[in-house]
C-alpha cells in the first residue's frame, strides 16, 4: 500500500488540535504553509497578504482582488474565521483576522482545505457527447422512475432502493444485522439507519439472540409478514419493469445492454450495491473516503471508510442473472469509485451540482435545488468548503453562492476526467464499453429530460419515514 496520510487521518489530527491546543510545531508549520496557501487561492492577493505574531496570538491579513473571485475569497475568509471562533474585521478590500495560536492553525488548515492545493488538476476539455456515467445514471434513474410509476400509491410495495439494499438480503430465518451490510454491500451506518426505519414501518423486527462462540447477543433482523409481502411484491415489480423495458426499447437493445453490463460486472474485483447508495445518510461517496487506503491487489480493493464492507467477488458469479437495475448500479458505482480515487470530488456532486455553477455563482435558490445548500453553514458543501454563501436573511434565496478554488478545480476537471476513465475502461473491458455506450445512447433520447445525471443515492433512506 502507498505510504501517505489519508484525508480522514488529517481530519482526525485537526480534531485533536481543537481538543489539545496548538503546539509550537503546529504553529510553525502553519506559518510556513500560509504563503503557499495564499498563492493557491485565486481571489487573494498573495504578495499583499500575510500574518504577524502578537503577544496573545496572531493577526492574519488577507487582501482580495476585484471581481467574483475576490468576492468569493472574502466570503470564504469570513466564514472560516467565524467557524474557528476568530474575530475578523474588514476594511475595503482587506480582512484582518485576529486569532489565538490554535485558531491560527485551524484557520490555515481550513483555508488550505478550500484552496487549489487540496485537489489535483486536469487539462481543460469539453464534452461532445454525454459522458458514460451520465448515461448510466440517467438509465438507473429512469428504471427507478418507471418502478415508482408502476407501484403508484400502493404503500405495500417498497422503493426500489429499499428492496435492493435491504429486504432482498434478509434470509427467511433472519440475518445478523452485522452481516446485512456485507450481504447488501452497504455501509454499517446505512444498515443501522435502514433497519431502524424499517422496524418503525413494521417491515422487520429485531431479535436479540445468543450466537455460539460470540460474546453478548447478536441483533438478528427478521422480515415481518408485511415485510415478506413487500419484498416479494417488489421483486415481481422489478420483473414487470424489465419486461416493460423490452417493449419500450426493443429486445435487441436490452440484450446488448445486459450483455455489456454483465461483462463489466463479472470482472469487477469487489461486489457493489444493487442500488446506488452513499456511504451514509449525508455522505454521497460510494466507499466513504480513504480512512483505509487503497490496496492495489490483485484484487484491487478501493480506499474506503471503516464502515464500508469489502466483499470480494466470487469467481464464476453470474452477473447475467441480476436485475437490470443491479447491473446499472454496480457499473455506475465502479465508475464513481474510479472517479473518486483521483480526489477530484464525488462523481454525484460534480455531475449534479458543481459543474452547473459558474465563476459568477448561482442564487441560493438554485444551489439549494441542485446541491441542497441552505446557507446556514451546516450543509455538506458548506461544511466541506466546496462553496461559500453570501450572508443575509435565511429567507433571502437571492443570495449568491460561489465555488471555492477547490470547488472550481473539481468542476473544471470533470470533462477531462470522465473521458480519461472511459478510455481506461475501453482498454480494460474491451468492446463491452462501446456496446454499453451505444445501447444507452439509443435509450437516452427516450428518457425524460428532467432526470438527474446521477441518481439520488440517499433519498431512498430519507423517504423511509413516509414510505
- How would residue 309 be classed by pLDDT, with cut points 50, 70 and 90? very high
- Encode pLDDT of 390-432 as tens digits: 999 999 999 999 999 999 999 999 999 999 999 999 999 999 9
- Encode pLDDT of 248-301 as tens digits: 999 999 999 999 999 999 999 999 999 999 999 889 999 999 999 999 999 999
- Encode pLDDT of 117-168 as tens digits: 989 899 999 999 999 999 999 999 999 999 999 998 878 899 999 999 999 9
pLDDT (average), residues 298-314: 95
303 in Cβ contact with 253 (< 8 Å): no
Instruction: Give pairs for 79-84: CB < 8 Å, separation 24+.
Output: 79/377, 79/382, 79/388, 79/389, 80/107, 80/110, 80/111, 80/114, 80/385, 81/107, 82/377, 83/110, 83/377, 84/110
Which has more confidence, 215 or 85? Answer: 85
> Does position 7 have pLDDT exceeding 80, yes or no?
no
pTM: 0.92
Amino acid at each position: 500500500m502507498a505510504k501517505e496520510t489519508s484525508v480522514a487521518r488529517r481530519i482526525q489530527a485537526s480534531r485533536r488540535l481543537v481538543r489539545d491546543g496548538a503546539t509550537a510545531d503546529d504553529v510553525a508549520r502553519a506559518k510556513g504553509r500560509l504563503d503557499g496557501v495564499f498563492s493557491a487561492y485565486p481571489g487573494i492577493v498573495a504578495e499583499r497578504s500575510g500574518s504577524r505574531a502578537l503577544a496573545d496570538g496572531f493577526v492574519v491579513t488577507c487582501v482580495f482582488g476585484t471581481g467574483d473571485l475576490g468576492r468569493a475569497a472574502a466570503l470564504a475568509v469570513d466564514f472560516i474565521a467565524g467557524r474557528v471562533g476568530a474575530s475578523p474585521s474588514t476594511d475595503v478590500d482587506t480582512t484582518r483576522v485576529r486569532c489565538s495560536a490554535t485558531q491560527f492553525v485551524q484557520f490555515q488548515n481550513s483555508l488550505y482545505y478550500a484552496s487549489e492545493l487540496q485537489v489535483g488538476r486536469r487539462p481543460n476539455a469539453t464534452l461532445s457527447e454525454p459522458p458514460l456515467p451520465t448515461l448510466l445514471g440517467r438509465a438507473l434513474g429512469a428504471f427507478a422512475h418507471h418502478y415508482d410509476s408502476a407501484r403508484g400509491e400502493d404503500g405495500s410495495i417498497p422503493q426500489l432502493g429499499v428492496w435492493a439494499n435491504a429486504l432482498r438480503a434478509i434470509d427467511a430465518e433472519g440475518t445478523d444485522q452485522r452481516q446485512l451490510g456485507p450481504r447488501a454491500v452497504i455501509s454499517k451506518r446505512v444498515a443501522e439507519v435502514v433497519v431502524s426505519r424499517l422496524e418503525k414501518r413494521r417491515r422487520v423486527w429485531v431479535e436479540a439472540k445468543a450466537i455460539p462462540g460470540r460474546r453478548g447477543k447478536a441483533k438478528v433482523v427478521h422480515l415481518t409478514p408485511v415485510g415478506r409481502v413487500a419484498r416479494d411484491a417488489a421483486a415481481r415489480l422489478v420483473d414487470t419493469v424489465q419486461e416493460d423495458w423490452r417493449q419500450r426499447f426493443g429486445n435487441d437493445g436490452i440484450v446488448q445492454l445486459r450483455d455489456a453490463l454483465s461483462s463489466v460486472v463479472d470482472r469487477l474485483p469487489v461486489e457493489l450495491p444493487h442500488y446506488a447508495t452513499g456511504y451514509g445518510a449525508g455522505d454521497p461517496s460510494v466507499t466513504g473516503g480513504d480512512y483505509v487506503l487503497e490496496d492495489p491487489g490483485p484484487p484491487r480493493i478501493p480506499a474506503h471508510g471503516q464502515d464500508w464492507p469489502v466483499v470480494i467477488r466470487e469467481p464464476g458469479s453470474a452477473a447475467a442473472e441480476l436485475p437490470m437495475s443491479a447491473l446499472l448500479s454496480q457499473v455506475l458505482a465502479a465508475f464513481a469509485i474510479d472517479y473518486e480515487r483521483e480526489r477530484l470530488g464525488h462523481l454525484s456532486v460534480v455531475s449534479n451540482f458543481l459543474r452547473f455553477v459558474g465563476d459568477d455563482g448561482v442564487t441560493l435558490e438554485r444551489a439549494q435545488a441542485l446541491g441542497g445548500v441552505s446557507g446556514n453553514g451546516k450543509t455538506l458543501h458548506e461544511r466541506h468548503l466546496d462553496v461559500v454563501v453570501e450572508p443575509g436573511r435565511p429567507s433571502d434565496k437571492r443570495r449568491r453562492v460561489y465555488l471555492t478554488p477547490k470547488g472550481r478545480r473539481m468542476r473544471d476537471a470533470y470533462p477531462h476526467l470522465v473521458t480519461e476513465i472511459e478510455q481506461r475502461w475501453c482498454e480494460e473491458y474491451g468492446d463491452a464499453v462501446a456496446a454499453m455506450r451505444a445501447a444507452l445512447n439509443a435509450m437516452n433520447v427516450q428518457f425524460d429530460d428532467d432526470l438527474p445525471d446521477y441518481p439520488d443515492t440517499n433519498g431512498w433512506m430519507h423517504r423511509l419515514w413516509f414510505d
